[in-house]
Amino acid sequence: MMLTNTLALAGAFALSVTAAPVGQNTFKITPDQLTSIDVKTASCNGAPFPEECADATVAAPAISTSFEKYQIKSRGAQAALIALMVFESGSFKYNKNHFPAPGRPGQGTRNMQMADFNREYATQVLPSYTVASASVSKLVDLLNEDDALSFGSAAWFLKKKCPSSIEAGLESGSLTGWDAYLTQCIGTTHTTDRDVAWNAAKKALNVGQYGTLPSTV
């Protein structure tokens, strides 16, 4: 019985870490949360491409909309998506790939999706007549015209291109889940510099434990 009670208490504590209070909008992200994750999102001052930059006041409602639209309910998954976008977009300063110069045509939105994924995404969120004849560069421009679409691509990708087990693995904020998301879904290398925004996002959203890759990896 003592073991049962202990496990029950542990389960209740785990839920309290990630669950929002009853009645709270679990999809809402605030500008203050974003700037606590990365202070550079507070302003577009000095942005290399000012027309591409979005500060936290612009990003927060767009991200919130995407979480609700694609039903990203767990704070752990939300933290992972925010961390990915912060990293890939250079603190929301970029919405197209520029490196190495002149950049890869068609790669963009806030999670820096490749052109093929952007075309697939565009067919679901833009009028079909605009997608059919658009070049890959034009498509990413069209997606970036609407902040909700540009910031919505990360949530779309998680729901449409990743196995459901990936999203489930992100819920607790575990390093294993984060690593699986990056390597098995996004298809990138998990380096420790990616953990900075992830740990900050988990802290801002009150998710689980903090960690990073061992230094030997």
pLDDT (tens place) for every residue of the chain, 217 residues total: 333 343 343 444 343 344 444 345 699 999 999 999 999 999 999 999 999 999 999 999 999 999 999 999 999 999 999 999 999 999 999 999 999 999 999 999 999 999 999 999 999 999 999 999 999 999 999 999 999 999 999 999 999 999 999 999 999 999 999 999 999 999 999 999 999 999 999 999 999 866 565 543 3
Rounded to 5 degrees, φ, ψ at 170 are -85, -15
Length of the chain: 217
**Cα–Cα distance between 78 and 207 in angstroms, integer?**
10
Q: Which of 79, 154, 140 is nearest to 104 (CA)?
A: 140
H helices within the chain, ranges in order?
2-18, 31-37, 56-69, 75-88, 115-125, 128-132, 136-144, 147-161, 164-170, 175-180, 193-204
Map out the domains of the chain with their CATH numbers: 33-204 (1.10.530)
pLDDT at 15: 39
User: What is the pLDDT, as a whole number, of residue 205?
Assistant: 97
Question: Measured between alpha carbons, how far is 3 from 29 in angstroms, rounded to an integer?
Answer: 38
pTM value? 0.86
Token pair of 44, please?
A: 């577009």
Give pLDDT, residue 208. 82
Whether 152 contacts 159, CB under 8 Å: no
Q: What is the pLDDT of residue 130?
A: 92
Cβ-proximal residues to 125 (8 Å cutoff; 6+ apart), any chain: 143, 149, 152, 156
Q: What is the pLDDT of residue 5?
A: 42
* Structure confidence at residue 209 (pLDDT): 66
Report CA torsion sign: 201, 204, 207, 210: positive
Strand partners, 108: 96, 113
What one-letter code names the amino acid at 2?
A: M
* Residue 152: burial class (beta carbons within 10 Å; 0-12, 13-18, 19+): buried
What are the structure tokens assigned to 117, written together?
A: 């994924």
